[in-house]
Amino acid sequence: MFDSVYGNERLIKHLKNTVSTGNIGHCYLFHGEKGLGKRTVAKEFAMAIMCQAPDRPCQRCSDCVRIMREDHPDVHFVQHAKAVFSVDDIRDGLNREIVNRPISGSRRIFILDDAELLNTQAQNAMLKTIEEPPEYATIMLLSDNRDALLPTVLSRCVELSLEPLRDSQVKRALRGEDEQLQEAAVRHGGGNIGRAKRYLEDEAYREWVDTLGKILRALPDSDIVQLRRAAASIGTDKDRLIEMLSQMQRWFSGLMKTKALGEGPDIGCATEYSYEDFPRIFAAIENFSTRMKVNVNAELSLLLLLQEACPARN
Ligand SMILES: [Zn+2]
């Protein structure tokens, strides 16, 4: 049961309990960083609700298989037509659809992934539905940013958060021949299976990550010319920049720990920084993330960020 979900023992225990008591809620919010497996958990939960086998979800019956393939007639994935969810997406995909009774079983499930892309009007449009859905319906919102949801939406959801895994758990989830590459993927994943898998499987992504790693390692010795070159090689693609911020965050957290312990593979780099540098760098990362949302000149902001991320020279 819940075999394809790694770690998150408390969450799984809660869901198993919910299924075995039959006390299934009307609206759930699964939240946590991208790559932690929210969609997998939601599908397993849906399977557990729909499956008729004694040890559910059995992963073999037609309900389970169809949910896995995302073509079950009573398990809907609410889609957005454009970059964000609009009022129309919610009206057509959820509000109008949810009043139809189940086709094959006794329940209907609506899964809405990337719920952070619901604009305010769309969220308001779904309020009444998530407050009083038909008794046969369960709605699952999935999001990597719960702060993007209105308090009125949050208050109607059972919130469940997915946590990063231990390295040993990530390692078990990865398949591959190359031991060294696998180790690097586990390190890069930092408890996130999705990120580790992507590193293992997507060569272009891996090259970009490794380039960024080299840039971060070289910061203490970089002058402005090298920083400009570094900024140019990172680029201004928004998804990549989000990924970069997360990698920087993890790099500097690790570096701070290495400095405190006085040992580790990056001790040479860590000693170049003083303890006063770290709060400034974390603030700069936060600041860049905020500026990205208002679409300022990414190239210039990136250069400023890299400058801030160098050790302060007296
Ligand atoms: Zn089944």
- 3-state SS, residue 85: strand
Distance (angstroms) between ligand 1 centre and the Cα of 44 equals 10
Say yes or no to pLDDT of 314 above 60: no
Distance (angstroms) between ligand 1 centre and the Cα of 55 equals 8
Look at the alpha carbons of 51, 52, 55, 61 in this order and tell me if their dihedral is positive or negative.
Answer: negative
Distance (angstroms) between ligand 1 centre and the Cα of 180 equals 37
Q: How far apart are CA 285 and CA 223, in angstroms?
A: 20
The mean pLDDT of the chain is 93
What's the confidence (pLDDT) of residue 175?
Answer: 79
Distance (angstroms) between ligand 1 centre and the Cα of 66 equals 10
Distance (angstroms) between ligand 1 centre and the Cα of 71 equals 14
Element (H or E) spanning 279, and its range? helix 277-293
Q: Domain 9-161, what fold? A: Rossmann fold (3.40.50)
Contact present, 100 and 74 (Cβ < 8 Å)? no
User: pLDDT-based confidence at 229, cuts 50/70/90?
Assistant: very high
What's the confidence (pLDDT) of residue 1?
Answer: 62
State the average pLDDT over residues 28-45: 94
Closest CA to 250 of 229, 266, 274, 233: 266
Distance (angstroms) between ligand 1 centre and the Cα of 69 equals 13
**Token pair for residue 285?**
């990362």
- 3-state SS, residue 7: coil
pLDDT tens, residue by residue, 158-200: 999 999 999 998 998 887 778 999 999 999 998 999 999 999 9
Q: How far apart are the first and last CA of the chain?
A: 58
Listed in sequence order, the residues at least 6 apart from 305 whose beta carbon sits closer than 8 Å to its beta carbon are 284, 285, 287, 288
What's the confidence (pLDDT) of residue 104?
Answer: 86
pLDDT tens, residue by residue, 126-167: 999 999 999 999 999 999 999 999 999 999 999 999 999 999
Does the predicted TM-score (pTM) go above 0.75?
Answer: yes
Distance (angstroms) between ligand 1 centre and the Cα of 90 equals 29
pLDDT tens, residue by residue, 50-107: 998 988 899 999 999 999 999 999 999 999 999 899 999 999 999 999 999 999 888 9
Say yes or no to pLDDT of 40 above 90: yes
Query: What's the Cα-to-Cα distance from 273 to each of 197, 221, 270, 285, rounded to whole Å?
Result: 32, 12, 6, 16
